[in-house]
């Protein structure tokens, strides 16, 4: 069974790898993780790191999504009202 590491632990390992004082293998050995895992975590941080600072864009995306969903709900409410009205007129 694979070990599970907390995000905080992974971040700490990656920070130590990025300082450059030790090699990736040395850091991995010191923390008892596989060097490939440490490298994967480092790559993930470097690829996704900018997203941390782009929260304004993320918020805007969520706001647009919420607006679309609210519009869809409004359309469905109209459809429901029309159907209720139609069904209410049938004998």
Q: How many domains, in total, are found in the chain?
A: 2
Q: What is the pTM of this model?
A: 0.56
pLDDT: which is higher, 82 or 59: 82
pLDDT, tens only, 15-55: 999 998 899 999 999 999 999 999 999 999 998 887 777 66
- Domain of residue 27 covers 1-52
Identify whether the C-beta of residue 25 lies closer than 8 Å to the C-beta of residue 35. Answer: yes
CA 80 to chain centroid: 35
Residue 90 has pLDDT above 60, yes or no: no
CA atoms within 13 A on the CB side of 29: 5
Clarify whether residues 63 and 45 are in a common domain.
Answer: no
* pLDDT for position 60: 76
Clarify whether residues 31 and 73 are in a common domain.
Answer: no
User: Residue 62: which pLDDT band, with cuts at 50, 70 and 90?
Assistant: confident
Identify whether the C-beta of residue 61 lies closer than 8 Å to the C-beta of residue 34. Answer: no
State the chain's mean pLDDT as an integer. Answer: 87
CA distance 57 to 4: 31
């Amino acid at each position: 069974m694979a070990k599970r590491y907390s995000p905080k632990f992974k971040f700490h390992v990656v920070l130590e790898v990025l300082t450059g004082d030790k090699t990736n293998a040395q850091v991995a050995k010191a923390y008892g993780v596989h060097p490939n895992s440490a490298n994967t975590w480092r790559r993930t941080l470097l690829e996704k790191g900018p997203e941390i600072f782009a929260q304004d864009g993320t918020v805007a995306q969520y706001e647009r999504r919420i607006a679309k969903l609210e519009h869809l709900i409004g359309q469905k409410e109209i459809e429901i009202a029309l159907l209720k009205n139609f069904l209410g007129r049938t004998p």
